[in-house]
Amino acid sequence: MKTNLAVKEHYERDVDVDEFDLIPLSLTEACDGRPHRHPFYQIIYVEKMRGRHMLDVTPYDDFGEGLFVISPNQLHHWERVSEISGVVMRFGEQFFYGQDFMVNALRTLNMIRQLSGKGIRAEDVGMPDIRRLIGIITEEFEGKRDEWQEMVRASLNALVINLFRSEMRGDAGPKNYSKLYEEFQQLIIKNGGEVVPVRHYAETMKISMGYLNEQVRKNTGKTPGEMIRATIIDEARRLLANTDLSIGQIAKNLGFRDSAYFCRIFKKETGLSPLKFKKHVTSRPAGAEPVQGDAPEGAGGLD
């Protein structure tokens, strides 16, 4: 990943959580800092918070009881926090993979990815069940009794399903993707949104470009190039909202040949120029409606 050095250093310095970790959410944990990302998933349960939590391009101010869901590719940081309590649950994909009893590991991770980037408030979910599950997870993690990991895994799975039911009500439900598509998606994430040709991914996965295109279309209705472009634009939005990098620096870090081309692609995907997007998102108050371009859809190219 070639993004801003502060982000890269924090990412590499963090503990690589292969399984599961739980830490209290305190002023020390939520101290002011630069935007950063972690190599693991996080579900943050907040009992109360005075201050701001910036998650990708969305600010959350004075957040009451609720939860944040964060994937490895997302930027977040805390600002001016004067009061906070809760717990942070951190886990890597290996915590789910390879478990015989949990045949729906990929399905659970798909639900987490669809929830990622959201601040979910208590009034929008069934908090009694959520609190009960967090209590079980905390007790099992701290007690380390026999089979505690299985208990945490099952409770975490139930927690994710509860959040998904509440947040995605009315939708068709979690999407089931093939393992090949999952591998392609993870390779895109690991490249940090850089401009990488589809041919490179096909060669890395040891399959033909035609077969990769067929599988991605079957799973998403999009081409591999559209997926890559959407990921690149998501990363550009994060950097515009969370760093002081110039548009030229962002374009270079993402692998564009020049900033003018980057600006054309960004505007085509979001409807806004990078500069206008940055002005909108940095001046937007917490809780405001998303500005145009907050959720770009991939559209062509990069094949």
Interatomic CA distance for residues 293 and 287, integer angstroms: 16
Residue predicted with more confidence, 20 or 171: 20
Instruction: Let me know if residue 290 belongs to a domain.
Output: no
Compute the Cα dihedral for 230, 77, 277, 262 and give only its sign: negative
**Domain limits at 203?**
179-283
Beta carbons within 8 Å of 59's beta carbon, 6+ residues apart: 52, 53, 284, 285, 286
The CATH number that applies at residue 13 is: 2.60.120.280
Per-residue confidence (pLDDT) for residue 260, from 0 to 100: 93
Interatomic CA distance for residues 216 and 222, integer angstroms: 7
Write down which residue in 119, 145, 167 finishes a domain: 167
Tell me the whole-structure pTM to 2 decimals.
0.73
Interatomic CA distance for residues 282 and 150, integer angstroms: 42
Asked if residue 237 and residue 183 are part of one domain, the reply reads yes
Whether 214 shows a pLDDT value over 70: the answer reads yes
Beta bridge partners of 43: 69, 89
Instruction: Let me know if residue 222 belongs to a domain.
Output: yes
Asked if residue 9 and residue 62 are part of one domain, the reply reads yes
Whether 181 shows a pLDDT value over 90: the answer reads no
Asked if residue 275 and residue 136 are part of one domain, the reply reads no
Instruction: Let me know if residue 297 belongs to a domain.
Output: no
Mean per-residue pLDDT, 17-27: 85
Residue predicted with more confidence, 222 or 291: 222
Asked if residue 187 and residue 162 are part of one domain, the reply reads no
Per-residue confidence (pLDDT) for residue 238, from 0 to 100: 87
Instruction: Let me know if residue 103 belongs to a domain.
Output: yes
Interatomic CA distance for residues 101 and 300, integer angstroms: 40
